[in-house]
Structure 1
Amino acid sequence: MYSYPGSLKKLIARLERLPGIGEKTATRLAFHILEERQERVKELADSLLEARREIQYCSKCHNITDEDPCRICSSPDRHREMLCVVESPRDVAAMEKTDEYRGLYHVLHGLISPLDDIGPEELYLDNFVERIRNEEKLEEVIIATDPSTEGDATAMYIGRQLEDEDVNVTRLAQGLPAGGDLEYADEVTLSRALSGRSKLDNK
């Protein structure tokens, strides 16, 4: 029975580990890589290693960055009276594409999900309330978690943590479908959700 050479099988297996990549897609990608010139393959390998080496998390907002603090946190042009809480760096990118939001961010890197044994301690929430207190101009915290069970649970938890703080807590609402993912929403939908945000009811 025919089988691919060992090094090719290993490459396919590594590509299959990527999210959303099945065996057929991994095989197609592997053969595409084999058909590329060696210098192009080296460029790809070098880019992967460089990104893994250089990219880190901002010490303030936990977004991905190649400098600390990140460009958003250090920019004098951002509106420091607003802070948007999102699940992942991909959500920051989605919000930035709207050109509607010019405030700061706080990236959780996940959502509370008891079924998956993910609690608040697994998220970047340990310094969150302290950060809120230290942001002198902060007036509003916008919770932009996905409209899902996990997103709702995370929003409720954050709302309770901020009950005694002198800050308005709002949640993206209008325009986002229940169960949808923020990172897949288009710019118009996100803009409407941002402008139509409402006060969070965490009771």
Structure 2
Amino acid sequence: MIGYIKPMMALIGELKKLPGIGPRGAERIAFSILDMDKSTVEALRQALLDAKEKIEVCPICFSITDVVPCRICSDPLRDKKVLCIVENPKDVMALEKNGNYKGYYHVLEGSLSPAENIGPEDLRIKELLTRLNNEEDYEEIILALNPSVEGEATALYLSKLLKPFQIKVTRIAHGLPIGGELEFADEMTLLYAFEDRKEL
């Protein structure tokens, strides 16, 4: 039985490394790429290289950016009294698409997960505390963490850690499904989740 030729096998092998792409999905994408004209493939290649070379982490909020600091952190019109804590940059994008939140962000770059040996020292918690000690304007901290076991554990840990700062700490309401992720939530679900947030 004859299998795929080497260049095709290499392409499928690389595509399978992407999250959520299995062998069949990788094959479909590979054949789609083969059907593209050379200029489209070149544009895709350039977009991948540009993303890798030009996107970096904002030193203030730890979201992704192509300018330092990011456009959100450098926006003087945003609400300086509110800080929203999220797990990853994808969550920032999801909340920004919604358009209702106008404060600043802090990206933890993950959530607490004893099963995966991810503790507080593996997240951007030390940077969060430094930020709160240096910036005295915050009146509310919103924990917009995924409604998962890890997200709940992280929210509980942070709510206890933030008590000494005497800042109101809220958690977005569970308008989101347990086990779901912010990036996949629709705009109305995110809106209701923000409107129904509760103080911890």
* Range of TM-score over shorter length: over 0.9
Equivalent residue number for residue 3 of structure 1: 3
Counterpart code for 1:14 = E
CA contact (8 A) 1:83 1:103 kept: yes
Distance 1:179 1:38 in 2: 41
Compute the displacement of 1:135 (Å): 2.0
Structure 2: gaps of 5 or more residues? none
Q: Deviations over 1:104-136 (max 9, x none)?
A: 001111110000111111111121111012223
CA displacement 1:73-117 (0-9 Å, x = unmatched): 000111010000011111111111222100000111111000011
CA distance in 2, matches of 1:57, 1:21: 26
- Alpha-carbon separation, structure 2, partners of 1:65 and 1:72: 9
What's 1:114 paired with? 114
**Structure 1, unaligned runs of 5 or more:** none
The answer (yes or no) to whether the contact 2:147–2:174 under 8 Å persists in 1 is no
Distance (whole Å) between structure 2 residues aligned to residue 109 and residue 16 of structure 1: 24
TM (norm. structure 2) is: 0.96
Aligned to 1:46: 46
> Displacement of 1:184 after TM fit?
1.5
Q: How many residues align?
A: 200
- The equivalences for 1:24-43 within 5 A come to 24-43=24-43
Percent of aligned pairs sharing the same letter: 47
Contact 1:129–1:161 at 8 Å: present in 2 too? Answer: no
Using the size of structure 1 for normalisation, the TM-score is 0.95
After superposition, what is the alpha-carbon deviation per residue over 1:132-189, rounded to whole angstroms, capped at 9, x for unaligned?
1222321110001011110011011111221110311110114223332222211111
- Tell me, what secondary structure is at the counterpart of 1:74? coil
Given the superposition, is the C-alpha separation of residues 25 and 178 from structure 1 closer, same or farther in structure 2, using an over 3 Å criterion? closer
